[in-house]
Amino acid sequence: MARDGCSTGETAAAGPWWRFPPLRNALLAGLLALGAYAGGRAGLIPESLEMAAYWLAIPLGAWYWAREGLEDLFRERAVGIEILMGAATLGAGILGLWEEAAALVVLYAFAEGVEELTFARTRRAIRALLDLAPKTAHRLVDGGKTVTVPADTIQPGDRFVVRPGESVPTDGVILEGESSLDESPVTGESLPVDKGPGDKVFAASINGQGVLTVEATAGFADNTLARIIHLVEEAQEQKGRAQLWMERFGRRYSPAVLASALAMLLLPWLLGLDTVWWSERAVVLLVAAAPCALVISLPIAMSAGIAGAGRRGILIKGGAHLEHLGQVRTIAFDKTGTLTYGRPRVTDVSAVEGDEAALLAIAAGLEQYSEHPLARAIRQRAEEQGIPPRGMRDVQALTGAGIQGREGDTVWYLGKPDLFESLGLDLSPWTEIIRRRQEEAKTVVLVGNRQRIIGILALQDVLRENAPQVIAGLHALGIRTVMLTGDNEATARRIARQLGIDDVRAGLRPEDKVAAVEALGREGPVLMVGDGVNDAPALAAATCGVAMGAAGTDAAIEAADIALMADDLAKLLEAMRLGRKARRVSLQNIVFSIAVLMVLIPAGVGGFISVTFAVLVHEASELLAVANGLRARRAED
Give, in order, the Cα–Cα distances in Å from 71 to each of 29, 65, 290, 342: 22, 10, 18, 55
DSSP 245: H
Q: Using DSSP bridges, classify how beta strands 340-351 and 443-448 pair: parallel, antiparallel or unpaired.
A: unpaired
Residue 22: closest CA among 132, 80, 108, 90: 108
Residue 556, Cβ neighbours under 10 Å: how many? 24
CA distance linking residue 75 with residue 203, whole number of Å:
42
φ, ψ of residue 460 in degrees (nearest 5):
-155, 145
Reply yes or no on whether 554 is catalytic: no
- Say which residues have a Cβ less than 8 Å from residue 90's Cβ, sequence separation at least 6: none
Provide the β-strand partners of residue 147. 139
CA 626 to chain CA mean position, Å: 21
CA distance linking residue 448 with residue 103, whole number of Å:
91
**Which helix or strand (DSSP H or E) is residue 299 part of?**
helix 292-310
Which sign, positive or negative, has the C-alpha torsion 62, 592, 628, 124? negative
Decide if 109 contacts 26 (C-beta within 8 A). yes
φ, ψ of residue 115 in degrees (nearest 5):
-65, -45
CA distance linking residue 78 with residue 220, whole number of Å:
41
Decide if 326 contacts 316 (C-beta within 8 A). no
- Which position among 171, 334, 535, 567 bears the catalytic label? 334
| Strand, helix or coil for residue 350 | strand
- Give catalytic residues, as residue numbers: 334
